[in-house]
Structure 1
């Protein structure tokens, strides 16, 4: 069975949702027969490369929050991340364009190291002090940590056309499937799970998708936490 996950490195609920899905997968009896593929979805595709802003500032502008409200929202996400055993820096993070990260993830997929790289990118963006938006050197170092050739990764980043079509194809397919926010999980093109659902929802979807082949049915509880072009769900809002 194949599970495709549309996500963005800038999406905190994708970070949390990945952990919840992996917890469900770990207890799934057929987990060794499940292939996980990460697909591209940009939350801020019009933002220019190098145009970064503090996350708290981005939240105040996007949602019309006060700084105190934005900080409280980040604290809420951080608490949910912490409940999944994830580190989450609620202050001092940047927000920026993620297109190059998606291109690098497609390169990693071709090399069989995609899951390793996306985990490192999430960790770097949400848990570490050094920004992933500052320079290509940071991304190259993460690629090397994921087991990729550093020179090859640098060459991908230096060529803006490398894997660009793959990113755009993923984004078109997300639109065709009706995904207007992330994370969005598609299980064997049979079931879709929208948002950072509880692990129990993923367990249900894995079980149903394993034994059933039918047109895509989206399992989406009201109020599921997700990120879309207009922003990310804010705890308590």
Structure 2
């Protein structure tokens, strides 16, 4: 059985949702027969990377006050803590995640995609290091096990793995994804947003049962 997960490293709900899915998968009896495919989704494809605080940028984007956005950050931090994830508030910056996605696709060719995803999420939310900064991204890639010269070549070539990112985003649109995280089970069931681990387990069980019946 295949589960496809669309996410953006910039998305706090993806950070939490991925951890909850992992817990739900761990409780699924046939977990060893589930292939998990990570797919790219950019929340802000037109964004420019810089030093604008994420709280100010997102508040302006969605028409919220700064206080309202801080409250949402606090909500995300509490949800992260509930699944054992660290989450800092106030130091993240707004940026364009396209290069991160390209590098994640490259990491897949080396069998290091999951490791890079884990470290990129951690760098962004638990350490508040700018994943939009080239050197930071290279450091994270090396920590994940990629060779620095290989990661640098990918980042130096704007076309490297660009089509893979775009293909993931086109597929998300075709499947009706309006945001992330977005989980698709066997191309039959779609699960949107941050769900409970128990709900993910039930969805996996349902998809498995119908697959077996088919």
What TM-score do the two structures reach when normalised by structure 1? 0.86
Contact 1:124 1:130 in 2 (8 A): yes
What SS class does the counterpart of residue 37 from structure 2 fall into? strand
Indicate the residue corresponding to 1:15 in structure 2.
15
Indicate the residue corresponding to 1:72 in structure 2.
71
The structure with more helix, counted as a fraction of residues: 2
Cα distance between partner residues in 2 of 1:203 and 1:119: 21
Cα distance between partner residues in 2 of 1:52 and 1:31: 41
Indicate the residue corresponding to 1:203 in structure 2.
201
Cα distance between partner residues in 2 of 1:143 and 1:168: 21
* Aligned CA-pair RMSD: 1.4
Counterparts of 1:29-40 in structure 2, within 5 Å, are 29-40=29-40
Indicate the residue corresponding to 1:133 in structure 2.
132
Contact 2:10 2:43 in 1 (8 A): yes
Indicate the residue corresponding to 1:97 in structure 2.
96
Cα distance between partner residues in 1 of 2:129 and 2:179: 27
- The unaligned stretches of length 5 or more in structure 1 are 215-237
Once the two structures are TM-superposed, the CA of residue 52 in structure 1 deviates from its matched residue by 4.5
- The unaligned stretches of length 5 or more in structure 2 are none
1:47 is aligned to 2:32: no
Cα distance between partner residues in 1 of 2:71 and 2:29: 39
Moved segments of 4+, more than 4 Å: none
**CA deviation vs aligned residue, 1:27-65 (integer Å, no higher than 9, x gap):** 1111111111110000000113x3442111013212332
Q: More deviation in 155-164 or 142-151? A: 142-151
Q: More deviation in 35-44 or 50-59? A: 50-59
1:176 is aligned to 2:143: no
Cα distance between partner residues in 1 of 2:164 and 2:174: 15
Indicate the residue corresponding to 2:190 in structure 1.
192
Once the two structures are TM-superposed, the CA of residue 96 in structure 1 deviates from its matched residue by 0.7
Cα distance between partner residues in 1 of 2:91 and 2:139: 21
What TM-score do the two structures reach when normalised by structure 2? 0.94
